[in-house]
Structure 1
């Protein structure tokens, strides 16, 4: 059963929404449930950004599937064949899945017995394996299990696999390609955001490559956020907004840590500092400010945006409503387009490297071919006769 505001660190939930104000809490809960009933994604987007997000796991069980476009009829049909995935061919990455699942549930829940944790790990393994076997083209990445464990803790069994499958194929597909290049292309947008918002900070941060953001952007922050209530609330916003919003959240966190970051001069220490999230983040403030940052400097205004593939989730999932209407087959089609682009780019780079390594030989061949043509072409011969002294002939 989904839990409402589970306490995972021994303290009470923060009441930034003034949760002691029961009328305000009741009003917001009513608004969210009404938006869920109407499947109104626009209203859910606004409510997800506002303080407290979707408030409870019981509400998230309704809101998250809507944002991801989980079809109730398809879900019921899936339930009838829920065991059939076990008969499908094994996915090539299942060995790594087992290793990562063994390391799951490190920070939360912290009140389970070992037997309960073992059961959750078994469920997590089944969830990931089912999604991968049903979408065998997807490539598992380390950290995927961090995302899936949040879905396992929030959503009921009947909804988990469908929600994670759609998230994987339509929202985080770039990270499940056979190359890291699309992920790196996303990271390049973070310095662009910083350049637009704070040129001095950008100049300082640019001393190191943006790989410091890889762990958080790959895992929707699930790898580094230690409190269950925080990551569940953050997922409210990330699922309600387009995929690029994750990059703006990270950029906003960097902007909030401006003074701390300027204290680091060595590139290695700068990278280390940027790659570690502070534990005292005010996530509600970060989310609101990230939304404002997004409005001021939208993705299409960023210099590196043109380098992002048109098949990237950053572009195919720009409108959450449109993305929710896409099918898993659409996700597969986008995947194949981007995979072919990556293969072509790899072949192009290999040819360029080969050409550069053999540039002297290629230049000699070109010069030789030009000399032969020069001798045979009448027009060039006439020009040569006209331009050179007669004693050369």
Structure 2
């Protein structure tokens, strides 16, 4: 087909797709779902061929995102390569002989609990092996980064997207006939090469070695552009990010903001969702367009880490009626308003975790917020100047070079240590409770008796909740736990020490000992 005729055909396809994305009734109702998907795939394929990243960003930020796994991988790869130039820093992703990173033991423990949804044991072990290899290589290549528990959930999403074809039969439960047809379709669509990597995209779909190279580069870029704030020695930067949530809730619903007293508390309940970009709650599945994939579509397409913050804000607003009702009903069951709100928010998260319609609306409203941006000038001032929210993932769609990012990373590490040092000094002077003094000294010196005591508390809580599940709701269960740990809650509420908080958070949220996996989410409200 002549180039001009091909461009005209693509232009007409794009205009039709734009009408569908904008819900133009005359166009939207004319096509069935399969035709809409085909149209979207054709436009994406052409945009990839022509390096038209503006079109890719537009589609990625629209309802449905990139829609299918077989195209999502190429879209993420193209967009991420344009966000960070690794040309001067690219090397083989094998760092077996490099100096081990101090966090590798924790990585191994977390990997052992990954990909639980994969039924085939051999394939599950292959995926876990790849997950550990990718994370360890990233940490060894950038040794100043610190691993955090939840990072493995994010990398697992990338592995499913990029390695779906080598492991398709077990991960996606696809039969052989479907796999062959899918490979044929993709090979016909992508007969081009990327000038940056020099590898054939068509062959990369069925070549696990090439896929692994693309996977490593994508995770590397995503880590440096989006996740630096979370890979410091403490949770200082993530906690600063959570402060933005009440600020934007206030802009949308001041009454809710005042009723829940969001001006007087640290929204620790949001930390797990922000740290994992919701991938801890929503695991990658065999569905080509599962919720978590669309979240990543939106983040990468907008080049903004404000996405998860805005999503959480919409989660609060959509849960308004339930929040106010539960808040009123359980006001007498908690030691303070902070424990109460943390418990109520966690209950809402658990309650709606399987409600696809609810989360679909949250995502659509977040996408709308991108089209009509919030005035986040003051919000940006709430985080450090070297945070990703003010540099590489601020929503600017800018391309950075590796030298700039490494320089910002070094400054961010210094800023984090300075803030953490200040918080330690402030906390040390405020430990008036003898119990808190003993606890702090024990934990700071890695006292094994103290850690065993914490373990006993956790086991007791799980045992207690198992006995009480038939006679109490999740809020009362959380109240039992809060009664046990109210001294820690008081410390974190009034005088926060971020290093201690990170240790407690890591232990209770992603404990490497799965006493009761089904209760994992119940304990998240401790943060």
Q: Which TM-score applies when normalising by structure 1?
A: 0.76
Q: Which residue of 2 aligns with 1:370?
A: none
Q: Which residue of 2 aligns with 1:9?
A: none
1:214-233 aligned at under 5 Å gives the runs 214-226=271-283, 228=285, 229-233=290-294
- Structure 1 residues 354 and 217, CA, compared in 2 at 3 Å: closer, same or farther? closer
Q: Which residue of 1 aligns with 2:99?
A: 89
- CA distance in 1 between counterparts of 2:261 and 2:58 reads 33
Q: Which residue of 2 aligns with 1:236?
A: 297
- CA distance in 2 between counterparts of 1:133 and 1:56 reads 33
* Superposition deviation, residue 252 in structure 1: 1.2
* Superposition deviation, residue 249 in structure 1: 1.2
* Superposition deviation, residue 236 in structure 1: 0.9
- CA distance in 2 between counterparts of 1:170 and 1:98 reads 24
Cα deviation code 1:274-304 (max 9, x no counterpart):
55453213344322311333535232144xx
Q: Which TM-score applies when normalising by structure 2?
A: 0.58
Residue 170 (1) aligns with residue 231 (2): no
Residue 257 (1) aligns with residue 334 (2): no
Residue 58 (1) aligns with residue 70 (2): yes
Q: Is the 8 A contact 2:76 2:300 kept in 1?
A: yes
Residue 113 (1) aligns with residue 106 (2): no
1:46 aligns to what SS in structure 2?
helix
- CA distance in 1 between counterparts of 2:236 and 2:407 reads 19
* Superposition deviation, residue 352 in structure 1: 6.7
- CA distance in 2 between counterparts of 1:162 and 1:38 reads 21
1:223-372 aligned at under 5 Å gives the runs 223-226=280-283, 228=285, 229-241=290-302, 242-265=304-327, 266=330, 267=340, 268-276=342-350, 277-282=352-357, 283-294=359-370, 295=372, 297-302=374-379, 305-316=380-391, 317-322=393-398, 325-348=399-422
* Superposition deviation, residue 171 in structure 1: 0.8
- CA distance in 2 between counterparts of 1:249 and 1:279 reads 17
1:7-156 aligned at under 5 Å gives the runs 20-69=32-81, 81-83=92-94, 85-106=95-116, 108-109=117-118, 112-155=119-162, 156=211
Q: Which moved more, 1:65-74 or 1:170-179?
A: 65-74
Residue 188 (1) aligns with residue 250 (2): no
Q: Is the 8 A contact 1:146 1:222 kept in 2?
A: yes
Cα deviation code 1:246-295 (max 9, x no counterpart):
11011112222222212222415324225545321334432231133353
Number of aligned residues: 333
- CA distance in 2 between counterparts of 1:214 and 1:136 reads 24
Cα deviation code 1:162-192 (max 9, x no counterpart):
1111111111110011121110011001111
- CA distance in 2 between counterparts of 1:210 and 1:356 reads 21
Q: Which residue of 1 aligns with 2:269?
A: 212
Gaps of 5+ in 2: 1-22, 163-210, 331-339, 432-527
With a CA cutoff of 8 Å and minimum separation of 6, indicate the structure with the bigger relative contact order.
Answer: 1
* Superposition deviation, residue 45 in structure 1: 2.2
Gaps of 5+ in 1: 1-15, 358-393
- CA distance in 2 between counterparts of 1:142 and 1:356 reads 29
Larger Rg belongs to: 1
Q: Is the 8 A contact 1:70 1:163 kept in 2?
A: no
Cα deviation code 1:106-146 (max 9, x no counterpart):
3x34xx31111111111111111111111111110000000
